[in-house]
Amino acid sequence: MDSKKVLTDASLTDDLVVKILSRVPFKSFCRFKCVCKAWLAFSSDPHYRHKLPKIPTGLFHGCKGGSVAQLVSLSRNDEEIDGGLTFLPHREHLKFVDCCNGLVLCKYKSNCIPPNICRFIVCNPATREWRTLPDTHPDPYTMDYTYKAFLAFDPSWSAQFYVFNFQEKFDEMPIGINKLEVFSSDLSTWIVDAAWSSRIQIFEPHHFIGGVLCVHTAGGDILVLEAMGSGIPPRHFIIELPDVHWSLMCGCFGQSSGLLQCAFPGESSDTAEVFSLDAHHSYEWSLKRRVSLRDALGRDVFFHNDEWPRRLGYRIAALDLERGVIILVDKEQMKLLSYNINTGKLRKIQDDCRTTTDYRYYVACYSKLPG
């Protein structure tokens, strides 16, 4: 029998190949693309790419009890991701802190070290690699200060990661940043910036994109820090948020096409308004999209009970316009929801969610952990 005829008869159509590839784990699919140009082409073909494995995404949050963290998965191909961070070495008082573009930041303390020293671990749940950072620089007086740390990693900008550890002076309540410590993975050391004299108080909503860390402040503005280079502390300045009716505490940061975005509840609270920041033209904001929350939540009332002051009955937890997804915390139903703004499809992620939990949006990264 002609060998060429046997090969032709045994060959598979593109539809069958895509159907087979759609069932393999994402990591295996990435390896397959490296050895077959035809399979690589499928991932960029508009007709096939929506059927193929996608980068695993989810929401990280801290846990109480035995586990350090929990990954609430949004993907079905996440079987190789350790969402509980069980691969980390045992440490006393290990605590989840932050997540950024596939990497996770934890801190730990022990009973034998001074309380003013923070020890951090940066890890990659997809590759199960981890790295312990050097101790932070202690201060002689610890009762007057609190610390807030953020992880900064953007693989499209640099293979290195940063940890920003803010020290805030405390007098019954935080009154402003007193000092900043920045760890750079390429320098493997902490750089201390003590030249802070402002009364800036920072909150949790933050984002790192293109070497710039943006942090929400108590004044309703954004503290911008440009990533340092050659051991020089980052330059910082303040920019205003869009003129909106609700605080960013009810919304979140996001990014699309390399631009910083933020999502707020609209004036009547029945829409989510998405703004984009053009950092190349005097940091100007522009309204990019309005998302109907009547469609997303399936109701017309958006305030929590009849209390005064009125509280929103939902929170925008995450935004990913590149994947067409907005994540909502429904405080009335105590549910975590995913809404596809392109198809209008609503999906329940989790019941009995903790409405006060700070969820960190997670997109898996398979690059090697620096250092």
What pLDDT, in 10s, does the model give residues 327-367? 999 888 888 999 998 888 888 998 888 777 889 999 998 88
Smallest Cα–Cα separation from 204: which of 361, 63, 9?
Answer: 361
Express each pLDDT in 237-257 by its tens digit: 999 888 887 778 888 999 888
Q: How far apart are CA 254 and CA 370, in angstroms?
A: 24
pTM here? 0.85
Q: How confident is the model at residue 162 (pLDDT cuts 50, 70, 90)?
A: very high
Q: Average of pLDDT values for 53-64?
A: 82
| pLDDT 10s digits, 202-225 | 888 899 998 899 999 888 889 999
Q: How far apart are CA 35 and CA 32, in angstroms?
A: 5
**What is the rounded distance in angstroms from the CA atom of residue 290 to the CA atom of residue 275?**
9
Q: Say which residue, 192 or 229, is predicted with more confidence.
A: 192
Q: Can you list the pairs that 185-190 forms with residues at least 24 positions away whose Cβ atoms lie under 8 Å?
A: 185/122, 185/131, 185/160, 185/161, 185/370, 185/371, 186/160, 186/370, 186/371, 187/231, 188/134, 188/371, 189/134, 190/134, 190/136, 190/137, 190/165
Half-sphere exposure of 281 (CA within 13 A, CB side): 7
DSSP 8-state code for residue 121? E
Per residue in 101-136, pLDDT (tens digit) is 999 999 987 777 776 778 899 999 999 999 999 988
C-alpha to C-alpha distance for 150 and 97, rounded to whole angstroms: 8
Alpha-carbon distance of 56 to 81, in angstroms, equals 9
What are the residues facing 29 on neighbouring strands? none
Q: In sequence order, which residues have a C-beta less than 8 Å from that of residue 91 and are 6 or more positions away?
A: 108, 110, 119, 121
Query: Rounded CA gap, 114 and 126, in Å?
Result: 33
Pairing state of beta strands 95-100 and 174-184? unpaired
